[in-house]
Structure 1
């Protein structure tokens, strides 16, 4: 199955309900879509109105437009997922950590403390493992104190069939037995992902002007760029971000046509590279749509994460059922054993 057929076939919300997942800082629903395609029922929590509308329009779920904080109340759920925003904590800064009101992690931790889910999971930038490792340790310790085994791993989405070199950290809290998804056997190029879209000229195509081309040339020379930062169709894309999708800068994502002209990516092309299916529609202005895509967890990667969570939930239920059977069997045997000692 080729890439486009795969994302359009796999990434469909289902009517099943293995478990309820609260999707905090939900964005446009990239993470939620992967979970809904695996049979989970999600509820999104997101403060941006465009993002929330996109979520509700495409998923079989509601999205509550709300700014999350430590006082927010939540319904019961088995799973908590999300992408909490993390302020850049520089060494020279105040380094308030979990006491910083600008940060999303106090709200996420409060949700876990309140709901007590069977498992929680969040995604964040790879910088948390490096310059902000002290803060990651603080978060892990706080969540671990709530009775969870907390594990994290750095993933490059390109190893999971996403046509993009995108490194992100995934942190999971569980009660034992969770396994991260294993890499897939093939890598997808941006050319395979875009297909016929790559060489088409949309009616609203935005081409780089002469002055923009000159700026890009100066930018690449100054940054000692060996290979122009155009989208190379024979390899996976570089990381999609809000800045290189929506911003008119030297870092802009762009396609070079056969006639030498370069044009900006369209919303649909960016969505393809981020593994959103073709039926998925974004709301809001073009800039808002680009930001929704750039901020999203690739839904196809979320699908594989959700499959691991689904297996964990299934195995957890089996373990609980086995323990309950043992308890009942023991209770049935107890009167006979006690009667041997003359106890009724």
Structure 2
């Protein structure tokens, strides 16, 4: 695929750590940053990056120079802790990455700083080595939990003062207190200090057809005197649940989906708020049905017939990875995806987490004596391609590995549309700051 080989429209550069399936990397590239380096540890994710244009370096080989604009992006597959990026010092506009989130996720063991999978220190190491103009870091909303709140503030202070390294033998609490004192003093070199912005976000508010609550931290090198208020203005939400409800009430949503059966429409409409919220001037949230029918230039995905729920690639409508999977179940106390809502959060796993995270209700009613009224909506597992659309990956993006690995890569990824909003805002703020300094 050519996604990672297209020429950048702006003469800006980026580095992507914890690149995964390439969601944030693609978003940063689309915002005009030419990628200079990818790093990823997971075998299948590395294969995905290779399939989409990255050039994997032989094991043990380290890059020594930035690639030219007509060269493929070098991919270093392996432990980020062994990566040396000193050769990129002064050449990088944006460093981006989503350090592994398991230490802080609700689904993980929640050990936080004590967890060896915490890779935030490696982001700070990279900042010290290359001194990028800006940093984009995405992670789970679990960082905002009360038990992690103090540590999360510590992470932000470390990003603010990355060159103030923790002294051996001290714990993070001691270093945190030191950073709080140090940040009150001006540094001799403002290029070694960063101004940070932290934003809790729901991807659905930015046009992603999925409820996905995350935290994004963006930092700008202080010597650039970046306009943080401009950045915040550029990343305001563009879509809302209120607008979705109002589009259903006024019929514009149903005009786009004219083939929806009356009983489905009636079921959806019956659950709208009795008192419709005031118009907020935003665009409607995109729904799972929107994603399947096609957002933007995407063409509709065909339905998967029962006889093709067989783990076999039938190339339905010419789409790859649109593969039916048998055995879908809905568990008591859990809910499946509904077509006329944004999808539930895509989670890393074979079928998501048991309980319907990757199961979707269809428009067809079937007889079920155990169901209320004796009928229920038919359901099945979402295909990998449908899940990729929910993550706003293009249909041309190729995922490698068995189904479970593909779903895991998608669950760990940053939705491309969400990342693109923030990356474009970073580019605009850098443009404005550099123009002002002329």
Flag whether TM exceeds 0.5 (same fold).
yes
> Could you tell me how far 1:96 is from its partner in structure 2?
7.8
Could you tell me whether the CA contact under 8 Å between 2:103 and 2:118 is conserved in 1? no
Could you tell me whether the CA contact under 8 Å between 2:112 and 2:148 is conserved in 1? no
* TM-score w.r.t. length of structure 1: 0.78
RMSD, matched Cα: 2.6
Counterpart secondary structure, 1:102: coil
Partner of 1:299: 416
How has the CA–CA distance of structure 1 residues 191 and 37 changed in structure 2, closer, same or farther, with 3 Å as cutoff? Answer: same
Could you tell me whether the CA contact under 8 Å between 2:347 and 2:353 is conserved in 1? no
Determine whether 1:193 maps to 2:298.
Answer: no
> Could you tell me how far 1:94 is from its partner in structure 2?
11
Task: Give the whole-Å Cα distance in 2 for the aligned partners of 1:302 and 1:81.
Answer: 10
**Deviation per residue, 1:272-331 (Å, 9 max, x gap):** 11101111111111111111111110001111111101102211221232xxxxxxxxxx
> Could you tell me how far 1:115 is from its partner in structure 2?
1.1
Out of 388, 392, 408, the position equivalent to 1:275 is: 392
* TM-score w.r.t. length of structure 2: 0.62
Partner of 1:109: 124
Partner of 1:265: 382
Out of 152, 159, 182, the position equivalent to 1:136 is: 152
Could you tell me whether the CA contact under 8 Å between 1:19 and 1:78 is conserved in 2? yes
> Could you tell me how far 1:242 is from its partner in structure 2?
1.4
Partner of 2:249: none
Greater share of helix residues, 1 or 2?
Answer: 1
Equivalent pairs, count: 294
Could you tell me whether the CA contact under 8 Å between 1:252 and 1:264 is conserved in 2? no
Task: Give the whole-Å Cα distance in 2 for the aligned partners of 1:281 and 1:308.
Answer: 27
Partner of 2:206: 160
Partner of 1:311: 428
Out of 230, 234, 237, the position equivalent to 1:183 is: 237
> Could you tell me how far 1:207 is from its partner in structure 2?
2.9
Task: Give the whole-Å Cα distance in 2 for the aligned partners of 1:63 and 1:31.
Answer: 15
Partner of 1:326: none
Counterpart secondary structure, 1:231: coil
Could you tell me whether the CA contact under 8 Å between 1:120 and 1:172 is conserved in 2? yes
> Could you tell me how far 1:53 is from its partner in structure 2?
2.3
> Could you tell me how far 1:265 is from its partner in structure 2?
0.9
Could you tell me whether the CA contact under 8 Å between 1:198 and 1:255 is conserved in 2? no
Could you tell me whether the CA contact under 8 Å between 1:70 and 1:110 is conserved in 2? no
Counterpart secondary structure, 1:155: strand
How has the CA–CA distance of structure 1 residues 78 and 190 changed in structure 2, closer, same or farther, with 3 Å as cutoff? Answer: same
Name stretches of at least 5 consecutive residues in structure 2 with no aligned partner: 54-71, 163-192, 239-281, 294-299, 309-313, 315-322, 367-377
**Deviation per residue, 1:193-251 (Å, 9 max, x gap):** 1114373335552233xxx64xx3xx32xx3x5xxx222111111111113x5357223
